Amino acid sequence: MFEIRCASCRRLLLKAADRAIVGPVDIKCPRCGTMNSLRPLVIEPKEPFSDRPDPSGQ
């Protein structure tokens, strides 16, 4: 479990399990009115980018 707190006033907004948030979330703090945007972490691809074909075909 991890805690999400307001970036301005540090009020607790959410407690969530690992990987519980799979998409972007916006939460308005009821105390100060700040909009807090949460984005899930991007998982690194297993293969390096240099091994992928060039989309321009060159």
Interval 2-12: pLDDT, tens: 899 999 999 99
Question: What pLDDT is stored for residue 36 in this prediction?
Answer: 95
- How much is the average pLDDT of 11-32? 91
By the 8 A CB rule, do 4 and 29 touch?
A: no
Predicted model pTM: 0.62
Nearest CA to 21 among 35, 6, 5, 1? 1
Phi, psi of 36 (to 5 degrees): -110, 120
Question: What pLDDT sits at residue 49?
Answer: 58
Eight-state DSSP code of residue 56: T
Stretch 28-42: mean pLDDT, rounded?
A: 90
Mean local confidence (pLDDT), 30-45: 84
Sorted by sequence, the CB contacts under 8 Å of residue 12 that are 6+ apart come out as 3, 4, 5
Residue 15 phi/psi, 5-degree rounding, is: -115, 130
